[in-house]
Homo-oligomer: A and B are copies of this chain.
Amino acid sequence: MSSKLSKTHNLAWRKFLVAHVMLIEQIEQDLAQAELPPLSWYDVLFALSEAPEQRLRLHELAEAVLLSRSNLTRLLDRLEAAGLIQREQCSSDRRGAFAVITNEGFKMLDQMWSVYGQAIEKYFACHLDANEVKFFIKILNRLTRATSTKSESY
């Protein structure tokens, strides 16, 4: 019953969606053109490279990458097949496994970043000055925090 969504807010939402697809499409295209794997690979490699000991439990990784688990399983299969990560048994929990980034993985991470980083600059960052970017972050923080609770719809 609350609703009463303003025209302007509605417009903002549509533009948000459009901006997202266009940017992602463009970036994926840049990566593909450089014969590099898709963004999802980057996300995994990046998360692992930042993690202590370059390794994460699979469920932690899934969380970090915002991916369902079944999805992550098969994404890791591909990365493992490409030699970019390895699975390692967890000694303290025999169900569990770590994903560990390999040297090859680090190399790929660098290669991808050289394209990805430039793309972010080219399509995104260069359009936001120092004040704007802070404002932008402030807003996005609010949006994510509100949703992060995973609250029921009440």
Contacts and interface: CB of A to CB of B under 8 A. Distances in A.
B12 A133 contact: yes
From A12, A15, A21, A150, residue with most partner B Cβ within 10 Å = A12
Copy total for this chain: 2
Interface residues of A, number: 54
Contacts of A151: 22, 25-26
A81 interface: no
Interface of A: 2-6, 8-13, 15-16, 18-23, 25-26, 29-30, 33, 66, 117-118, 120-125, 127-128, 130, 132-137, 139-144, 146-148, 150-151, 153
25 contacts: A2-B118, A2-B121, A4-B121, A5-B118, A5-B120, A8-B134, A12-B125, A12-B128, A12-B133, A15-B137, A15-B140, A16-B124, A16-B136, A19-B140, A21-B66, A22-B66, A22-B147, A23-B143, A30-B153, A123-B143, A123-B147, A124-B143, A127-B142, A127-B146, A136-B136
